Structure 1
Amino acid sequence: MPSAEPSFKRIVNEISARIKSGELAPGEKLPSTSQLATQYNVSTGTVYRALSLLHDRDLILGQPGRGTYVADRSDK
């Protein structure tokens, strides 16, 4: 039975957990939007929504033309 949780929330929760556990380290580059869309079997719009929430929570940083990286939260 499919999860009732919206896809973008599942992505946010999974990436957040990986960051908090240290699996994704500060400064580590995340896969591209299209790679994440393929990985989670969702549209790129869903990935953008998830990344926007992660950015709002100061968990990731976008660098135009370079990619999206895990934020350094050591001073927070």
Structure 2
Amino acid sequence: MPRQPVYEQIITDVIASVQSGALRPGAKLPSIAELCEQYRASATPIRLALRILDERGWIEVHQGKGSFVAPKPPA
């Protein structure tokens, strides 16, 4: 089975953390640099994952402040 692309893995992990309660609404996600290190990936797939999570309503990205779990993430 082919490996899941890094950006999809990040999306899956963030959604699972929100659903399990490990990440609460308003919680700050790790920085792009920290996620690069955690996933051993460049910033490009990290930014893509964050953009998709933002578009789907799971997180809110605040320029210069970071990414946070949305106050009311999807069920």
TM-score by length of 2: 0.90
Corresponding position of 1:66:
65
TM-score by length of 1: 0.88
- Structure 2 unaligned blocks of 5 or more: none
Matching of residues 13-52 of structure 1 within 5 Å: 13-52=12-51
- Structure 1 unaligned blocks of 5 or more: none
Whichever residue aligns with residue 23 of structure 1, its letter is A
Corresponding position of 1:54:
53
Q: Which runs of 4+ in 1 moved over 6 A?
A: none
How far off is 1:63 after superposition? Answer: 1.2
How far off is 1:14 after superposition? Answer: 0.6
Alpha-carbon displacement from aligned partner over 1:9-62 (angstroms, at most 9, x marks no partner) = 011001110011111000000110111011011110010011011101100001
Whichever residue aligns with residue 56 of structure 2, its letter is R
Corresponding position of 2:3:
4
Structure 1 vs Structure 2: percent identity of aligned residues?
Answer: 33
Paired residue total: 75
